[in-house]
């Protein structure tokens, strides 16, 4: 833990890549763990844009469940720890694969939503945008033109939002340290980001409950719950900063 804290303090441009694992302690299941979403909903029938277009009512059952969980979810100590790291000037940005908005709620200002966000929805017919607050998400929502509303989240088979992709690539190329937190690193291009940092001579710190597909590349691996590890890491960073100040 001390070595990791030292890496963060001496880094010039540290960013974080987060996945569903950082939100499980907020009550939102991840995707690939045993009680993950893809173990309850077949990814081929619910995870693709085509799945939604072919049978929106069916896919909406999963989306409504997610929306309800997001409604009830609050940031957990892992989210707050990253907000504190940003306040300390040690974390330049969070690139998240999550669509739950919990990083912003915890106070992080620079958050790149790599897989979009559930906060807004778009009409597939006329393109009109809605915020999730102004409609009921219980049943498949429709536009005033009667078109189907799709949440602005990235389904498989959809491109990463251009602005988010460009910003994330620019941040990764500027980073000498990336914290990879709560992600299996199974999905590209998100999983490319730590590889870019490493290729540029930077370091990877992985904080995950178990090994991920990029663990072999990690310079440091802190295995365990993000909600327990990150607050301890921030305490260690603050302790070392005080020592350095003397």
Q: Where does this chain bind ligand APR (CB under 6 A)?
A: 19-21, 24-25, 30-33, 36, 97, 115, 182-184, 186-187, 208-210, 212, 225-227
Q: How far apart are CA 216 and CA 204, in angstroms?
A: 10
Q: Least Å distance between CB 205 and ligand APR?
A: 13
Q: Is the peptide bond before 189 cis (omega within 30 degrees of 0)?
A: yes
Q: Which of 103, 115, 150, 225 is catalytic?
A: 115
> With respect to ligand APR, which residue has the nearer C-beta, 11 or 212?
212
Residue 51 token pair: 């799945």
> With respect to ligand APR, which residue has the nearer C-beta, 122 or 215?
215
Q: Is the peptide bond before 155 cis (omega within 30 degrees of 0)?
A: no
> With respect to ligand APR, which residue has the nearer C-beta, 19 or 141?
19
Residues 6+ away with beta carbon under 8 Å from 133: none
Q: Least Å distance between CB 12 and ligand APR?
A: 26
Residues 6+ away with beta carbon under 8 Å from 210: 223
Q: Least Å distance between CB 1 and ligand APR?
A: 15
User: How many angstroms separate the Cα of 113 from the Cα of each of 55, 101, 214?
Assistant: 26, 9, 21
Q: How far apart are CA 32 and CA 34, in angstroms?
A: 6
Report residue 178: phi and psi, to 5°. Answer: -130, 130
Active site residue 103: no
Contact in structure between 22 and 98 (CB atoms under 8 Å): yes
> Which residue's Cβ has the minimum distance to ligand APR?
21
Residue 189 token pair: 């291009």
Q: Least Å distance between CB 243 and ligand APR?
A: 28
- The residues that are catalytic are 115
């Amino acid at each position: 833990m001390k070595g990791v804290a030292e890496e963060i303090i001496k880094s010039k441009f540290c960013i974080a890549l987060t996945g569903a694992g950082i939100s499980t302690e907020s009550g939102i299941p991840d995707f690939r763990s045993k009680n993950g979403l893809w173990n309850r909903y077949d990814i081929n029938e619910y995870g693709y844009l085509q799945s939604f277009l072919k049978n929106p009512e069916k896919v909406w059952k999963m989306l409504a469940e997610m929306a309800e969980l997001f409604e009830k979810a609050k940031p957990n100590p892992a989210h707050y720890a990253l907000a504190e790291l940003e306040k300390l000037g040690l974390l330049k940005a969070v690139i998240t694969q999550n669509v739950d908005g919990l990083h912003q709620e915890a106070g992080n200002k620079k958050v790149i939503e790599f897989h979009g966000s559930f906060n807004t929805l778009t009409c597939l017919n006329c393109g009109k945008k809605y915020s999730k607050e102004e409609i009921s998400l219980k049943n498949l929502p429709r536009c005033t033109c009667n078109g189907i509303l799709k949440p602005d989240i990235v389904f498989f088979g959809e491109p990463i939002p251009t602005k988010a992709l460009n910003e994330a690539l620019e941040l990764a190329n500027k980073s000498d340290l990336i914290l990879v937190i709560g992600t299996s690193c199974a999905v590209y291009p998100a999983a490319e980001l730590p590889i870019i940092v490493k290729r540029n001579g930077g370091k990877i710190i992985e904080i995950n409950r178990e090994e991920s597909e990029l663990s072999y590349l990690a310079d440091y691996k802190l295995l365990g719950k993000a909600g327990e590890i990150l607050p301890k890491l921030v305490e260690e960073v603050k302790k070392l900063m005080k020592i350095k100040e003397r």
